[in-house]
Amino acid sequence: MHQSIKQWSAGDQPREKLILMGSKSLSEAELIAILMRAGTRNKSALDVAKELLTQNDNSIAALAKLSVHELMKIKGIGEAKAVSIAAALELGRRRVTESAMQKGQITSSLDAYDLLHSRMRDLTQEAFWIILLDRRSKVISIEEIHVGGMSAMVVDPKVIFQRALERRACSVILSHNHPSGAPSPSIEDIRLTEKIKSGGNFMDIKVLDHIIIGEGSYYSFADEGKL
């Protein structure tokens, strides 16, 4: 016979377990169950959470890529629950970004990657971002330029340098993601980088790097001597 979570002993109920033992004592499924608050007539919130994880390779990173509508495909997850899960995952992503931002200064390609990958790793389509820096290589802002494909036709250098001038930036780091996972640059990536670098020389705004973010790795034009 199906039992609701409220019928379990206090030590087994995710919410009470968190209060008694702390959040680190809970599994991913238990944490998701707390966000969901309730299950269905035939399944507890924990059962639904386990099913959600199972269908996504037990990966929080995979969950973070799902839209609200994709989350709702799991029986027992309606719009309100899907929104709660999506919001919690976004908070986690922003926490990582905030930690990277606290350093403030970019001294290597790894610094730039740390700042960007949490924003871009879960995207399902290509997006182009820039980091604007002052004369001491301190971050002024991180800005999205384009989403939905990356080419010289859609990523306009004028937009990049307009943003840089508005923020009084002295240099810029370019970045985009490869949803396929492999960060190696395409011919189009190389051509676009050269075009933007040329524009930067004309505007006296230095293009320091172009970081391509893949699945758990990245490619740096500067590190590879391509700038």
Residues in the chain: 227
CATH architecture of 5-97: Orthogonal Bundle (1.10)
Q: What is the pLDDT of residue 11?
A: 43
Strand arrangement of the beta sheet that strand 218-220 belongs to: 139-147, 127-133, 171-177, 206-213, 218-220
The 10 Å Cβ neighbour count of residue 218 is: 23
Q: E strand or H helix at 51, and its extent?
A: helix 45-54
| pLDDT, greater one: 95 or 204 | 204
CATH number assigned to the domain with residue range 104-220, chosen from the 4 options 3.40.109.10, 2.40.110.10, 3.40.140.10, 3.40.630.40 = 3.40.140.10
Q: pLDDT for 108-122, tens place per residue? A: 999 999 888 878 877
Block residue for tokens 């924003």? 119
The mean pLDDT value of the chain amounts to 87
Contact 105, 76 (CB under 8 A): no
User: Each residue of 154-167: pLDDT tens digit?
Assistant: 789 999 999 999 99
pLDDT of residue 6: 55
Q: How confident is the model at residue 153 (pLDDT cuts 50, 70, 90)?
A: very low
Residue 172, classed as helix, strand or coil, is strand
CA-based torsion, 194, 216, 70, 6: positive or negative: negative
Domain ranges of the chain: 5-97, 104-220
Query: Which of these, 57, 52, 44, lies nearest to 14 by C-alpha position?
Result: 44
| Contact yes or no for 221/185 (Cβ under 8 A) | yes
- Within 10 Å of residue 30's Cβ, how many Cβ atoms? 21
Handedness of CA 91, 166, 160, 183 (dihedral sign): negative
Between 93 and 219, whose confidence is greater?
A: 219
**Helix, strand, coil % over all residues of the chain, rounded to 5:** 45, 15, 35
Provide the Cα torsion 156, 162, 163, 169; round to 10°. Answer: 120
Tell me, rounded to whole angstroms, the distance of Cα 73 from its chain centroid. 22
User: How distant, in Å, are the alpha carbons of 183, 194, 195, 198 from that of 201?
Assistant: 26, 11, 10, 5
Q: Which residues partner with 128 through β-bridges?
A: 146, 176
